[in-house]
């Protein structure tokens, strides 16, 4: 099956990837969870709610930014394709073109 059909059918997605066990990302995420848990214990219920609201907004911003990065990168890659596969006439040529 071709990639465009898979993309259309929702069979492929960059978000389907999982965190590799033992990766730096996994270790850092664990550390963030631990430190956030320690921090939340120090807060009143009211302060926890406010922090959760702020974190929700930050998460929304992150989703928006990541979507934009993805779309921009995909479009940039597509713009590069003609330059990569097109004819190139530089200062040198292959031996079969020499003449």
- Distance between alpha carbon 29 and the CA centroid of its chain, in Å? 16
pLDDT in tens, 14-68: 777 889 999 999 999 999 999 999 999 999 999 999 999 999 999 999 999 999 9
User: Phi first, then psi: what are they for 29, rounded to 5°?
Assistant: -60, -40
**Cα–Cα distance between 73 and 14 in angstroms, integer?**
13
**Band of residue 76 on the pLDDT scale cut at 50, 70, 90:** very high
The per-residue pLDDT for range 56-74, each reduced to its tens digit, is 999 999 999 999 998 899 8
Distance of CA 48 to the CA centre of its chain: 29
Q: Percent helix, strand, coil in the chain (nearest 5)?
A: 70, 0, 30
């Amino acid at each position: 099956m071709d990639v465009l059909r898979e993309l259309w059918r929702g069979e492929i997605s960059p978000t389907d990837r999982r965190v590799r066990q033992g990766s730096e990302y996994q270790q850092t995420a664990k550390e963030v969870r631990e430190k956030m848990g320690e921090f939340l214990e120090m807060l009143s219920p009211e302060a926890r709610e406010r922090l959760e609201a702020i974190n929700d907004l930050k998460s929304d911003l992150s989703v928006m930014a990541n979507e934009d990065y993805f779309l921009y990168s995909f479009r940039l890659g597509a713009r590069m394709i003609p330059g990569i596969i097109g004819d190139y006439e530089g200062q040198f040529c292959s031996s079969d073109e020499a003449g």
